[in-house]
């Protein structure tokens, strides 16, 4: 179609061939293919000149309309690649997403006001392709080769309990003391309720039991504040309550293992500007 329009505009097959970097024969083949497809002649050709048939003249105008629409579509796509704009769908865990990622999203949107962010917070592993997410923040090992993963700074894990709980139960002095405590479980970590501590190269694994298992860190925080038992959760969730004295950090000389954290996007040849800029923005601040 584009070749046909250029032949008409240039007045000859040879001139159109020069523009496209094709042979004259190839240009002629393109035009003949169109004529065969339409079942009508578009150009009357003699040894000295060519002119449009009636059908050719009508078809030319429609071709110009179609090519103009294609060009406009290309320009829209190129603009989306060049300038961050449009909707970006992001998913992350509830606690980390609300307390650590959301402030970064707010800062990003202030810099790029043409981007709208849809943030979905849940503690399950989502299928980015199936559920239509552009970006995910996920902890643990990443094995999907269709995803590009960039590491983020993992949150620290802390063990805490309320002063009321500790007044009724002996404060643990070493990790193994937790065997005698009501240790509340976090469902996304699975059924292996073993808390692992380390200090100066020493490692201790403590099987724990408790009266409550929950899939939400905020709910576990509420249970800890209510004196139900001992909770292990991320620092960003617990630190305000520790600072105010509502919770007490346990075993401060011991460290709990941090789970690897990554920001993920699907593997694309040319990611959009909004996707590329958002990932870079998060990595710069939380990497």
Identify the CA nearest to 34 among candidates 6, 10, 15. Answer: 6
pLDDT given for residue 58 in this prediction: 85
Q: Judge whether 260 and 240 are in contact, CB under 8 Å.
A: no
| The predicted structure's pLDDT at residue 46 | 67
Q: How high is the mean pLDDT in each 10-residue block of the chain (287 residues)?
A: 79 81 83 83 75 81 81 69 86 91 95 95 85 91 85 93 95 95 85 86 93 90 96 93 97 90 86 91 93
Let me know how many helices (H) and strands (E) the chain has, helices first.
11, 14
Question: SS3 of 150, please?
Answer: strand
Name the nearest CA neighbour of 275 among 175, 133, 125. 133
CA distances 208 to 75, 162, 268, Å, are 60, 18, 44
Residue in this structure with the two tokens 């909004």, named with its chain if needed: 274
Q: What pLDDT is stored for residue 79 in this prediction?
A: 61
**d(C-alpha 283, C-alpha 109), whole Å:** 15
Confirm if 177 and 161 have CB atoms less than 8 A apart. Answer: no
Tokens found for residue 171: 């404060």
The answer, as to whether pTM is greater than 0.85, is no
Q: How many CB atoms lie within 10 A of CB 178?
A: 23
Q: What is the pLDDT of residue 41?
A: 85
What SS3 class is residue 53? coil
DSSP class of 206: E
Residue owning tokens 């190839």: 26
């Amino acid at each position: 179609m584009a070749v046909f329009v250029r032949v008409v505009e240039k007045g000859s097959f040879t001139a159109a061939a020069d523009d496209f970097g094709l042979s004259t024969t190839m240009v002629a083949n393109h035009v003949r293919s169109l004529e065969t497809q339409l079942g009508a002649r578009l150009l009357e050709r003699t040894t000295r000149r060519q002119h449009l048939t009636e059908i050719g003249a009508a078809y030319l105008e429609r071709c110009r309309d179609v090519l103009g629409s294609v060009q406009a579509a290309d320009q829209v796509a190129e603009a989306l690649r060049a300038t961050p704009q449009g909707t970006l769908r992001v998913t992350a865990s509830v606690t980390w997403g609300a307390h650590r990622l959301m402030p970064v999203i707010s800062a990003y949107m202030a810099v790029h006001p043409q981007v709208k962010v849809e943030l979905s917070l849940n503690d399950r592993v989502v299928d980015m392709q199936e559920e239509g997410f552009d970006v995910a923040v996920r902890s643990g090992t990443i094995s999907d080769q269709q995803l590009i993963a960039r590491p983020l700074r993992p949150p620290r894990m802390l063990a805490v309990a309320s002063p009321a709980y500790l007044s009724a139960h002996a404060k643990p002095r070493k990790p193994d003391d937790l065997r005698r405590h009501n240790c509340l479980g976090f469902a996304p970590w699975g059924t292996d309720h073993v808390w692992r501590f380390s200090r100066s190269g020493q490692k201790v694994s403590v099987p724990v039991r408790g009266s409550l298992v929950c899939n939400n860190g905020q709910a576990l925080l509420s249970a800890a504040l209510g004196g139900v038992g001992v909770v292990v959760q991320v620092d960003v969730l617990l630190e305000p309550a520790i600072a105010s004295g509502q919770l007490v950090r346990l075993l401060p000389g011991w460290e709990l293992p941090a789970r690897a954290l990554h920001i993920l996007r699907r593997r694309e040849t040319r990611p959009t500007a909004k996707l590329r800029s958002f990932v870079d923005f998060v990595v710069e601040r939380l990497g």
